Homo-oligomer: A and B are copies of this chain.
Amino acid sequence: MSSEKIPDIIIGRLPVYLRALQHLSDRGIQTTSSQELGGIVGISAAQIRKDISQFGEFGKQGTGYSIPFLIEKLSHILKVDRVWEVAIVGMGDVGHALANYNGFANRGFHVELVFDNDPGRIGTKVGDFEVHDAADMAERLKQHKIKVAMIAVPAASAQEVADQLVKAGVKAILNYAPTSLSVPEDVHVQYVDPVTHLQRMTYYL
C-alpha cells in the first residue's frame, strides 16, 4: 500500500463509509457487504469495493466485511484511531453549534479550546468551555499543540484568523466562513458553505 498515490476523491469517501459502519456497529451488526454499505451511503457497491481494495484485502468473497475490522482499518488509515484536540474560533451561532456538537466523540476529535474576540463573550461559558480571548490564541494553541481548528468567524475576519492559526502550527482548518482562504501548501482546508452544497443539488432539479 502506497498511501501517497491514493486520489483525494477516494480519501473523501472513506469518512462516509466509516460513519455508516459505525452506525451499523452501534446497532450491534457485525458484518456487512458492499451492497448494504452502498445502499446506506448512496454509492455503488462496485465503487465501494474498488475504494476499499486500494488499501488492502479487507473483505472476503461471499462473507463480506467484518465491521469491527473495517472500522479499525479505516480509522487507522484516516488517523482517527487517536484523538485530535481541536480549537474553535468564533462563538457565534455556528461556533456554539460546533462547541455543543456531540458527534466528535469516538470519531477522533475532542474540542479543547474555544476563542472569540468579543469582550462580551470572553470569559463566558459555552457548554463546558470557557471562551478564551482570541488575542492569546497563538500562545494557547502552541501550548496545547493543536493541529486542527475550525473557523466560525465572519467572512471578513476569516483570512486573518487563518493566518494566526497557521503561524501557531495548525495544519488542518475546517472553514465555516463563506470565503476562500490562502494557506501554505502543507496546510489543509475544507470548506463548509451551505450554498455550495445547495447549488450542487439545484443543478439536478
Q: A residues engaging B (CB < 8 A)?
A: 3, 9, 11-12, 14-16, 18-20, 23, 39-42, 77-80, 84, 86, 92-94, 96-98, 100-101, 103-104, 107-109, 147-148, 150, 155, 171-172, 174, 178-180, 182, 188-205
Contacts and interface: CB of A to CB of B under 8 A. Distances in A.
Contacts of A180: 16, 19-20, 23, 40-42
Contacts of A80: 199, 202
A128 to B, nearest CB: 15
Contacts of A171: 205
A86 B198 CA distance: 10
B195 A104 contact: yes
A42 B11 contact: no
A146 B82 CA distance: 43
Contacts of A150: 194
Contacts of A14: 199-200, 203
Given A9-B9, A179-B23, A180-B41, A201 B195 contact: no
Contact of A195 (B3, B108, B147, B194): B108
A150 to B, nearest CB: 7
Given A40-B180, A96-B93, A19 B193 contact: yes
Given A194-B101, A205-B147, A199 B108 contact: yes
Given A93-B96, A100-B93, A180-B41, A201 B148 contact: yes
A104 B93 CA distance: 16
Nearest to A106: B195
B147 A200 contact: no
A98 B194 contact: yes
Contact of A107 (B20, B96, B188, B199): B199
A188 B172 contact: no
A137 to B, nearest CB: 19
A203 B204 CA distance: 31
Contact of A192 (B12, B92, B96, B194): B194
